[in-house]
Amino acid sequence: MSRTAEIYACLCVREFPTQALLRLRPQLRNQPCVVMEGEPPLEQVCSLTRKARILGLLPGMTQVEVDTFSGVTVLQRSRKEEITTSEALLECAGSFSPRVEEVSYRHSFVCVVDIAGTQELFGPPNKLAQNLLTRVSALGIAACVGVSSNFHASIAVARAPLALSVRVIPPGEEGAALAALPLTVLNLSEQQAETFSSWGIRNLGMLAALPERELISRLGQPGKHLRQLARGEAPHLFLPVEPEFTLHERMELDSPVAVLDALMFVANLMLEQLIVRATARVLALAAVTVALTLEGGASCLRTIRPALPTNDRPLWIKLLHLDLEAHPPQAAVLAIRLEAEPGSTSQVQMGLFSPQLPEPSRLDVTLARIRSIVGDENVGRAVVADTHRPDGFRLEPFGLDAFENSSAQSKVPSTTTLRSALRRLRPPESVSVTLQGARPEAFFFRQQRYRVEHAYGPWLTTGEWWSAASWGYEQWDLVARNPSGTTLCGCLMRDLLRNQWQMAGLYD
């Protein structure tokens, strides 16, 4: 058996702290922005945009130095948003290969994808790299991709200050392709960088041309490893990560937000990212949980679950708006987190003779409006409770089973059975009953006297003796007639605890 040739694609995101913040702030992407790190008054610039560099700002500047520039947006570094963004990028890279290793350093996100054997699925390496960049740009991230048969060579070419977003090194040409790259593409220590600068070594080609023995005698084994990196010959043991697929987004607001419309603007951007990530896996959003961090240390947690999974962003915004309008936060919002539950995108297939279902989006909005009026606990579908108590039921959230076999429902039975229908009276109407030998003989119902001709019963039901809501009923099915000859078939019930007679329903 022949061994599959190694080939790696490295995804590099420069100025990662800045891009992680601007991903959910698209209005700031074309403006000069800097990200500060540290405690006041010792804050320093750790990352910045290209337009900020054009203005003259540099990493390491203090807040006082930044204030001397006009029109610069200052943001605080958010580790939580960086973690969320890195998880989204690893998830994106994992859709092309299950073998992904993260090798991020300083203020850049770097991950390497083992794409050996993926040509049949995604085409040649340059096409796969373009597709990877397209998927990453949909997340609001600008990145570069380097492809090589050597692990470290792919990282070096992806980190190089090149104009090309994708660069592929043909197998066997690693040394020539890396020769012109500066030493900054390697993780050199300050001492190593100072040593090479004193020697006049400015690029990888000059480093690769140094004699190995003399380099080892001066720098030791790290010198040999650096020479191998410069020649594109350094070996590597691939250590893949296994990120868990979770749909969540988090954003720490620049200032407290107390206006619901402003909060919905932020939620709209976060929902867009969740839908993009779910669509990439042919999934839909089945439920969205909103976690709000409020001033004073309080929090607000709400879950929205429509009847069917959907990726309709305007529908989700409408449902979120109605829910938060009915349950407004008790303080200004400092941070917002959205966590989505993935669901199937399958649609409900109805039979030819099945009743038409309402449009899911209109149904969900209608249910949300009703909940805002009568309360969440009073909206849903009735489910019969596991009890013999009359009218015993509970409410469950309304939903549709996308995998329900509708053809079985649409089948018409071969034989028709005539059955009597009981029309329940809600609430039951009180009646006055005359007994003879513990059996109903006559009763007054709706200002008319009826004489019982046939009585079937009694059926006794009791339950919940262990609680204060205990109940006990005696039920009779009656056929009665009034003096005018009108026949009445009904269900008569007696509350044994209160000794009250009621007409519970009428038979057709």
Residue 110 located in a structural domain:
yes
Reduced to 3 states (helix: H, G, I; strand: E, B; else coil), residue 184 is helix
| Domain coverage including residue 434 | 422-507
CA–CA dist 36, 468 (Å, integer): 62
Tell me what pLDDT residue 411 has.
Answer: 45
Q: Do 309 and 223 fall into the same domain?
A: no
- Please report, rounded to a whole number, the percentage of residues in the chain having pLDDT higher than 90: 60
List the single range of 132-136, 231-235, 305-309, 320-324 with lowest mean pLDDT. 305-309
> Per-residue DSSP letters for 102-149?
E--BTTBEEEEEE-TT-HHHH-SHHHHHHHHHHHHHHTT---EEEEES
| Phi and psi angles of residue 185, each rounded to the nearest 5 degrees, phi first | -75, -10
Tell me what pLDDT residue 416 has.
Answer: 54
CA–CA dist 384, 475 (Å, integer): 20
Q: Do 195 and 150 fall into the same domain?
A: yes
Q: Do 144 and 215 fall into the same domain?
A: yes
Q: Do 211 and 75 fall into the same domain?
A: yes
Q: Is the N-terminal amide bond of 427 cis, ω within 30° of 0?
A: yes
Question: What contacts 501, CB < 8 A, 6 or more positions away?
Answer: 430, 431, 432, 433, 443, 492, 493, 494, 495
Q: Do 402 and 470 fall into the same domain?
A: no
**What is the tally of structural domains in the chain?**
3
Tell me what pLDDT residue 101 has.
Answer: 95
- Residue 497, pLDDT > 90, answer no
Reduced to 3 states (helix: H, G, I; strand: E, B; else coil), residue 93 is helix
For residues 147-172, b (16+ Cβ closer than 10 Å) or e, as one string?
bbbbbbbbbbbbbbeeeeebbbbeee
Q: Do 95 and 144 fall into the same domain?
A: yes
Tell me what pLDDT residue 406 has.
Answer: 43
Query: Which among 394, 412, 430 is the end of a domain?
Result: 412
Residue 243 located in a structural domain:
no
Question: Which residues is 75 bridged to in the sheet?
Answer: 35
Sign of the torsion angle spanned by Cα atoms 22, 25, 26, 31: negative
Q: Do 156 and 257 fall into the same domain?
A: no
Residue 417 located in a structural domain:
no
Q: Do 207 and 131 fall into the same domain?
A: yes
Q: Do 201 and 258 fall into the same domain?
A: no
Q: What are the residue ranges of helices labelled H in 174-244?
A: 174-178, 190-199, 204-208, 212-219, 221-231
CA–CA dist 166, 147 (Å, integer): 8
- Residue 2, pLDDT > 70, answer no
Residue 480 located in a structural domain:
yes
Tell me what pLDDT residue 354 has.
Answer: 67
Residue 242 located in a structural domain:
no
CATH for 361? 3.30.1490.100
Residue 1 located in a structural domain:
no
Q: Do 80 and 205 fall into the same domain?
A: yes
Residue 241 located in a structural domain:
no
Apex 185 CA angle, 182 and 190, nearest 5? 90
Q: What is the pTM (predicted TM-score) of this model? A: 0.73
pLDDT in tens, 20-73: 999 999 999 899 999 999 888 889 999 999 999 999 999 999 999 999 999 999
Phi-psi region of 362 (alpha: psi -120 to 50; beta: other; left: phi over 0): alpha
The two beta strands, 487-495 and 432-436, are unpaired
Tell me what pLDDT residue 347 has.
Answer: 60
Q: How confident is the model at residue 384 (pLDDT cuts 50, 70, 90)?
A: confident
Q: Do 403 and 429 fall into the same domain?
A: no
pLDDT in tens, 422-471: 888 888 899 999 998 889 999 999 889 999 999 998 888 888 777 777 88
Residue 446 located in a structural domain:
yes
Q: Do 14 and 130 fall into the same domain?
A: yes
Query: Which among 363, 382, 412 is the end of a domain?
Result: 412
Query: Which among 353, 381, 412 is the end of a domain?
Result: 412
